[in-house]
Amino acid sequence: MTVGNGGERGAMAQSGGHVKTERGSYVRTVVTLDGPAASGKSSVARRVAGRLGVPFVSSGLLYRAATWLVEDLRGDADDEGAVLGILAERHVRLVPSLTGDRILVEGRDVTGELHTDAVDGAVSAVACHPGVRDWVAERLREIPGSFVIDGRDMGTAVFPDARFKFFLTAPAEVRARRRVGERSADLKAVAEAIARRDRLDAAQSAPAHDAVHVETGDLTLEQVVDRVMQALSGVGAV
């Protein structure tokens, strides 16, 4: 567990999602939840954010929005220059909120169109471009205030100084079964799609050295949320 740069362990009191340090000043709280596809991180992050009373941000939505745009404009996902050209031309906005973040493209809310098999299939190709990763990181670092954020590299590349970091894991077959429960689909096909995404996302998916690992395979969603909340309360964050 990391307790930020200042080492204000212990005497922390929650205040609107902000944390009071021993010196009496309030600092924003960023809680990162990283993990592989279908590890349950977004469901957990949403509930933890709800209990803390702060917005939940899904970093994957920005990668999905970039992929959605490339598909909409029939661009080439493997061509970094072409993808960056599209991102420079179109206005993509991530709007954090207490009920989950939304993505607006040219002012239109496209959030409901981002979790399709087509986007799932192409998103890793878009996400592996360094310029796209910079584009996403820039947007995430602009978000003001306290929030809970999920992704692959939130605790490493994007918010290395986050005060609280978690890494969720679950066996591949458990993740596939969870995903089949979310979208009516064939277990074998889903397992293959997840294995493919694990492989393609591996470069940006290493856990932060100071993250708390939570193996979620045998736990219910509420049990995972309780574990995270217990860990946060153990360092005085709640």
Task: Name residues contacting ligand C5P, limited to 165-224 (CB under 6 A).
Answer: 197, 201, 204
Q: How far is the CB of 231 from ligand C5P (least distance, A)?
A: 21
Q: How far is the CB of 212 from ligand C5P (least distance, A)?
A: 18
Task: Provide the 8-state DSSP code for 97.
Answer: B
Q: Helices (DSSP H) in 33-186: which residue ranges?
A: 41-52, 60-72, 80-89, 117-127, 130-141, 172-182
The span from the CA of 42 to the CA of 33, in Å, is: 8
Q: How far is the CB of 21 from ligand C5P (least distance, A)?
A: 28
Binding residues with ligand C5P: total (CB under 6 A): 15
The span from the CA of 111 to the CA of 60, in Å, is: 11
The span from the CA of 90 to the CA of 87, in Å, is: 5
Residue closer to ligand C5P by CB (options 173, 182) is 182
Question: Using CB under 6 A as the criterion, what x/- string covers residues 56-85 for binding ligand C5P?
Answer: ---xx--xx---------------------
Give yes or no for residue 101 binding ligand C5P (CB under 6 A).
no
Residue closer to ligand C5P by CB (options 6, 171) is 171
Over its C-alpha atoms, the chain yields an Rg (Å, rounded) of 18
Residue closer to ligand C5P by CB (options 148, 238) is 148
The span from the CA of 33 to the CA of 228, in Å, is: 10
Q: Report residue 218: phi and psi, to 5°.
A: -100, 10
Sheet with 18-20, edge to edge strand ranges: 14-15, 18-20, 26-27
The span from the CA of 238 to the CA of 228, in Å, is: 11
Q: Which stretch binds ligand C5P (CB under 6 A): 24-32, 146-154, 177-185, 217-225?
A: 146-154
Give yes or no for residue 135 binding ligand C5P (CB under 6 A).
no
Binder of ligand C5P out of 111, 124, 156, 169 (CB under 6 A):
124
Sheet with 164-169, edge to edge strand ranges: 56-58, 147-151, 30-34, 164-169, 212-215
Residue closer to ligand C5P by CB (options 12, 148) is 148
Q: How far is the CB of 23 from ligand C5P (least distance, A)?
A: 32
Q: How far is the CB of 86 from ligand C5P (least distance, A)?
A: 16
Binding residues (CB under 6 A) for ligand C5P: these are 37, 59-60, 63-64, 123-124, 127, 151-154, 197, 201, 204
